[in-house]
Amino acid sequence: MNEYIFSCRGLSKDFVLHTIDGRRVEALRGVDLDILPGEHVALAGSSGAGKSSLLKCIYRTYEPTSGTARLRLRTGELVDLTTLSDQEMAHLRGRDIGYVSQFLRAEPRRGPLDIVTRAGVSRGMDRVTAREAAAHSLRRLNIDEKLWDVHASVLSGGEKQRINLAAGTISSPQLLLLDEPVSALDPANREAALDLIGDLTTQGVAVLAVFHDVEAMERLASRIVLMRKGRIEMSGDPTLVLEVLTQGAHV
């Protein structure tokens, strides 16, 4: 049997809202999930099902309340992300575990080429290689070369999203987390972005993704995991799960 890249057991997240009488909100209730190298796992389920929470718990943007989340590093070492120190986690980010959110984080006065190049450099690439990779990726994602040194803050939502994707994928991590990375793209650009993501899987990157459209899942996923109320309800072959999903929608 293949060795997994990522494996979580009983991953749970409770929020305690001190500003609202200490109310407890259970976002994840014990998630078990293994991902193999080169496997693309798509998370499905209605909003509030816990899809983004799962990604954020793995990336430690949320601190898991309980459970384990093991990641195999490039070095072959196996670490539990839930028990790493903040500094250790910060060091793994980008290198061994990538996260591409729907929105570009505050990057007010830098151009696309600079942003993507810096992302590469921060992950240990030398500047020349990073710049080449950045240019290649931006070209592939149809970012007009005239915009490469224009401050990202003035670009369109779709352009920002593609810059974000280029930055998040410039070096191949062991595990890539994608949270609706193509939600703001028109069909042609969406196509280019999905192609890029598909290639990562071919290169052996394990991907855990949230897409809001079924078509992207059909095209990219090797497995679909259906979530409901913070738990995994079903996991399996894309066609099977999607069939159940669409039937459910008709009920």
Nearer to another protein, 91 or 212 (CB): 91
State how far the Cα of 88 lies from the Cα of 95, in Å rounded to an integer. 12
- Identify whether the C-beta of residue 43 lies closer than 8 Å to the C-beta of residue 227: yes
- Helix or strand holding residue 227 (H, E): strand 223-228
Nearer to another protein, 32 or 114 (CB): 114
For residue 238, what are the contacts with CB-CB under 8 A and spacing of at least 6?
A: 42, 217, 218, 221, 222, 223, 224
Q: How far is the CB of 24 from another protein (least distance, A)?
A: 13
Considering Cα of 120, then 54, then 81, then 64, what sign does the dihedral take? Answer: positive
User: DSSP for 112-146?
Assistant: HHHHHHHHHHHTT--HHHHHHHHHHHHHHTT--GG
Q: How far is the CB of 62 from another protein (least distance, A)?
A: 4
Nearer to another protein, 81 or 220 (CB): 81
State how far the Cα of 199 lies from the Cα of 76, in Å rounded to an integer. 22
Q: How far is the CB of 61 from another protein (least distance, A)?
A: 5
Nearer to another protein, 105 or 146 (CB): 105
Nearer to another protein, 153 or 239 (CB): 153
Q: How far is the CB of 183 from another protein (least distance, A)?
A: 19
Q: How far is the CB of 190 from another protein (least distance, A)?
A: 27
**Residue ranges in contact with another protein by CB under 8 A:** 15-19, 56, 60-63, 86-91, 105-106, 108-110, 118, 122
